[in-house]
Structure 1
Amino acid sequence: MKVLVIAEHDNHKLAAATLNAISAAQQFGGEVQVLVAGCDCAAAVSEAGAVQGVAQVLSANAAHYRDQLVENLAALAAGLVRDEGFNAVLAGGSSFGKNLAPRLAALLDVAPVSDVVSIAAPGRYVRPIYAGNVMVSVESDEPMQVLTVRTTAFEAAAAGGNATLRELSPREDLGVSRLVGRELSKSERPELTAARIVVSGGRGLSSGEKYREVMEPLADRLGAALGASRAAVDAGFVPNDYQVGQTGKIVAPDLYVAVGISGAIQHLAGMKDSKVIVAINKDPDAPIFQVSDYGLVGDLFEMVPELVAGLAVQ
C-alpha cells in the first residue's frame, strides 16, 4: 500500500501539522511518501527526508509552488496519485489541509474524510461530529482515500529517518489564483497549536487592554502561548489567530488555563482534549467547569494577579 502525505511548509521548514500527518499515514501500514512542492525549498525537502517512517520524498520545484496555492498543488497531487497508484493521500487538519483536501478529492472524483482522529484500518476511521460531543466510526469504500487528520490526535513524527529523494517535473501554472499579501503575527511566545501550556481569555476580560494586563503576566510566568475564545476575538480584544475552538485552532496542551471563558460548545471542541484544564470564572454554573480538572470561582481580576504573584514565589 502506498500512502502520500502532502507537506505544508514555508519553503524553509515543515509545518508541525505535516509531522502529525506523517504519523497518521504510518498507521496504514504501507510505504509513506511525502510530496514537497515549493520554490527553493531544499531545506524543507531535507527536513522531510529526515523524518522517521518516510520512505521517499517527492520534490517539485517551481515558482508557482512558492506560495502553496492549493489550485496548483491539487492538480500536481492528483496527477501524481493517478500516475503512481497511491492508495491514500493525507494532509494535516490545518487551514492548508482543509483547503487542499476537498479540491484534490474532487479532481479524483472521490469523497474525502475530514478531521480523522483514529485510523482502525484503510477505509475505517473515527472522526468527531456535533462539535466533538460524539465520535463516529466512518467506513469509506472509495478506491482512493483522501483524509485530513486532526493534529492533536496523532503524535508528531520524530526525526532520524533517511528517505530517498526524487525530483518531479512541475506541472504548468494554472494561473487561477495569486497571493496578494500575507500578514503574519510574530511573537516570542510558543506557537499556539504546539505549546505545552496555553492560557486563554474570554469575554469576561471586558477589553483588549484588560486582556493584555491580566493574561500576559500569567503567560510570561508559565511560559505559555496566548489564546482566546471566539467572543473575545469578535469583540476585538485580540487578533483572530488567537482563537481556540471549532472555528479556530484545535489545541491539546499539557495545561490549559481558561480565564473568563464560559465554555460554549464551540470553544470546548477546540480544547477539551487538554491533559489538565483549569478554569477561572465568576459564574459557578459556567459550562467550562464541566470539563475542567480544577475550577476557581471568583473575580478573575483579583484571582489571576494573585495566581501570578503566587507563581513568582515558587
Structure 2
Amino acid sequence: MSILVIAEHDNAGLRPATLNTLAAAAKIGGDITVLVAGSGCAGAAAAAAAVPGVARVLSADAAHLAHPTAEDLAAVVLAVAAGHRHVLAPAGSFGKNFMPRVAATLDVAQISDIVEVVSADTFVRPIYAGNALATVQSGDTVRVITVRATAFDPLPASGGAAPVEAVTPPAASGLSAHVSQELSQSARPELGAARVVVSGGRGLGSAESYHAVLEPLADRLGAALGASRAAVDSGYAPNDYQVGQTGKIVAPDLYIAVGLSGAIQHLAGMKDSKVIVAINKDADAPIFQVADYGLVGDLFELVPQLVQALD
C-alpha cells in the first residue's frame, strides 16, 4: 500500500503540520512518498528525506511553483498520484486550497480534517463544528484525505535517509497567477505551532485594550496571541490571529482565554488544548464548560495581577 503526502513547506524546510500529516500516514501503514513542489526547494526536500518512515521524496522544482496556485499544485499532485492508494495533505489553508481539485479530478470523495485513523479505509473526522465525530469508511480506489495536524503527534524531524528523486512538473496552467502577498512579521511563536496561546475576545472592548492587556501576559509566557472571530470582526486583532472553525485550529499545552464567551465555532478550534484557563466576568459563559481552570471576575483586574505574579 503506497501513500503520497503533499508537503507544506517554505522551500527551505518543512512546515510543522507536515510532520503531523506524516504521523497520520504512518498510522495508515505502507510505503510513504513525500511530494515537495516548489522553487529552489532542495532544502525542503532534504528535510522531508530526513523524516523517519519516509520511503522516498519526489522533488518538483520549477519557477512557476514558487507560489503555487491551486491549479498548478493540483496538476503536480495528479501527475505523480498514479499507483498511490492514499493522498494526504495538512488540513489548513494549504490543503484546503488544492485538495478538493485533486479529489474532483480523480472522481472520488475527499475525506476532510481527519482526527483519527481507524484502518486503511476508515477514518474519524469532526462534524457539526466539532460537536460530533463521524466514522467514515471509504470504498474509493484512491482516498484523498486532509489531516487535522493537532490531532496527531508529529514524527521526528531527523533520523531518516530517504532518496530524493527529481520529477518534471506540468507546465503552468495560466488559469491564475500569484500577484503579491503580505506576510505579518512577529517575534512571537507562530499561532498554529505555539506551546502557549493567550487569546482574547470581545470582552476586551477595543483594539487598544486587546494589546494593552494581553501582550504583557504573552510576553511573560512566551506565548502566541490569538483572538475570537468576534474580536477579529470588531477590529481588535488581525485575521491571522483568529482561532476557531473558520480560523486556525490549535492545541497548545496551555490556552488562556481572556474575555471569551466560548462560542461553538471558537471551541471547535481550541478545545483539544491540554490545559485551558478561562477568565471571564460571566460565570455562566460556555467557555467554563471546557476550561480546566476558571477565574470569574474583571479581566482588567485579574490579568494584570496574573502578570505581576509571573514577574
In the TM superposition, 1:254-293 aligns within 5 A as 254-293=253-292
TM-score (ref. length: structure 1): 0.97
C-alpha distance in structure 1 between counterparts of 2:105 and 2:15, whole Å: 25
Q: CA deviation at 1:16?
A: 1.3
Letter in 2 for 1:54: V
What CA distance in whole angstroms lies between the structure 2 residues aligned with 1:176 and 1:94?
23
> SS in structure 2 opposite 1:251?
coil
Tell me, what secondary structure is at the counterpart of 2:48? Answer: helix
User: Following the alignment from structure 1 to structure 2, what is the Cα–Cα distance between the partners of residues 64 and 9?
Assistant: 16
| Partner residue, 2:194 | 195
Q: Gaps (5+ residues) in structure 2?
A: none
1:68 deviates by 2.3
- State how far apart, in whole Å, the 2-side matches of 1:221 and 1:298 are: 21
* Alignment counterpart, residue 144 of structure 1, candidates 139, 142, 145: 142
Q: Cα deviations across residues 100-129 of structure 1 (Å, max 9, x unaligned)? A: 110100111111100000011111000001
* TM-score, length of structure 2 as denominator length: 0.98
Give matches, 1:149-298, under 5 Å: 149-158=147-156, 159-298=158-297
Residues 126-165 of structure 1, C-alpha deviations (whole Å, 9 max, x = no match): 0001111111100110000000000000111112111011
Q: Is residue 276–residue 292 contact of structure 2 (8 Å, CA) maintained in 1?
A: yes
Verify the 8 A CA contact 1:75 1:107 in the aligned structure 2. Answer: no
Corresponding residue SS for 2:95: helix
Q: CA RMSD in A?
A: 0.8
Match of 1:100 in 2: 98
Tell me whether 1:34 sits opposite 2:34 in the alignment.
yes
Any idea what SS the aligned residue of 1:256 has? strand
Deviation at 1:47, TM superposition (A): 0.7
Does the 8 Å contact 2:68/2:178 carry over to 1? no
2-side partners of 1:274 and 1:170: how far apart? 39
The question of whether the paired residues in 2 share the 8 Å contact of 1:56 and 1:164 is answered with yes
Which amino acid is 1:150 matched to?
R
Q: CA deviation at 1:43?
A: 0.7
CA distance in 2, matches of 1:169, 1:101: 20
**Matched pairs, number:** 310
Does the residue aligned with 2:81 lie in a helix, a strand or coil?
helix
Runs of 4+ in structure 1 over 3 Å off:
none
Structure 1: gaps spanning 5 or more residues: none
User: Distance in 2 between the 1:81 and 1:48 partners?
Assistant: 18
Provide the residue aligned with 1:110 in structure 2. Answer: 108
